[in-house]
């Protein structure tokens, strides 16, 4: 009983504080109300993808946005990267049920992406950057994985205890060699687009 209490106390600490979102509560990330702040359709519009694009999604959780993005690149590929194997299992299951076949799954730290330079046309993170231990290294790794002219979209949403400010994201991205393109303000949050 004590071990169970300790485990749930740790899950609650991770949910309400800084750090990696607990996979045990991934179902909360799939609630339909999440789309009130940023819908999958809106995210796809913001990404401005070509059908053959190779896209990197960091921290997909259980794959709330993944199926819509994969469908937007029918001749391309979506690569989901998460630190937690359990989240990748959940997202793989969700994409399989949605009939998505053009997705790959990689367990890795956001600061140490296992991809060759210029592997992706676009990358995105939704409510993830604040959870990363070294945000500067994460953005440098993304910049390394993006082709010249490739885009990065960072979204921060309300209610996230790890959310970064737009100015903070712009500063970090600029230090990683990413050029600011535009921002869209959401209900209590924002998306910011950058170019390598």
Query: Residue 113's CB: how many other CB atoms inside 10 A?
Result: 23
Q: Are 73 and 138 in contact (CB under 8 A)?
A: no
Among 158, 183, 159, which Cα is nearest to 169's?
Answer: 183
Query: For 35-89, what is each residue's pLDDT tens digit?
Result: 778 999 999 999 999 999 999 999 999 999 999 999 999 999 999 999 999 999 9
CATH of the domain at 13: 3.40.50.150
Confidence check: pLDDT of 4 > 80: no
Q: What is the mean pLDDT of residues 13-31?
A: 68
Q: What range defines the domain where residue 90 resides?
A: 2-195
Domains identified in the chain, total number: 1
How high is the mean pLDDT of the chain? 90
User: Using 50, 70 and 90 to split pLDDT, how confident is the model at 93?
Assistant: very high
3-state secondary structure of 167: helix
Distance, in Å, from the CA atom of 178 to the CA atom of 148, rounded to the nearest integer, reads 10
Q: Is the pTM of this model over 0.85?
A: yes
Confidence check: pLDDT of 28 > 70: no
Buried b / exposed e over 55-70, threshold 16 CB at 10 Å, is: bbbbbbbbbbbbbbbb
């Amino acid at each position: 009983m004590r071990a169970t209490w300790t485990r749930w106390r740790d899950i609650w600490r991770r949910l309400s504080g800084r750090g990696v979102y607990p996979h045990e509560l991934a179902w909360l990330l799939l609630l339909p109300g999440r789309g009130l702040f940023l819908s999958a359709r809106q995210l796809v519009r913001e990404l401005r993808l070509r059908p053959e694009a190779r896209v990197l999604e960091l921290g997909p959780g259980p794959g709330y946005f993944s199926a819509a993005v994969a469908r937007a690149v029918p001749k391309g590929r979506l690569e989901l990267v998460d630190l937690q194997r359990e989240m990748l299992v959940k997202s793989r299951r969700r994409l399989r049920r949605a009939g998505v076949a053009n997705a790959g799954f990689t367990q890795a730290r956001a600061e140490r992406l296992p991809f060759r330079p210029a592997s992706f046309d676009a990358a995105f993170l939704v409510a993830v950057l604040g959870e990363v231990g070294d945000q500067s290294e994460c953005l440098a790794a993304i910049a390394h994985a993006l082709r010249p002219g490739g885009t990065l979209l960072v979204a921060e949403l309300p209610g996230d205890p790890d959310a970064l400010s737009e100015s903070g994201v712009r500063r970090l991205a600029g230090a990683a060699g990413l050029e600011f393109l535009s921002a869209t303000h959401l209900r209590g949050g924002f998306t910011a687009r950058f170019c390598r």
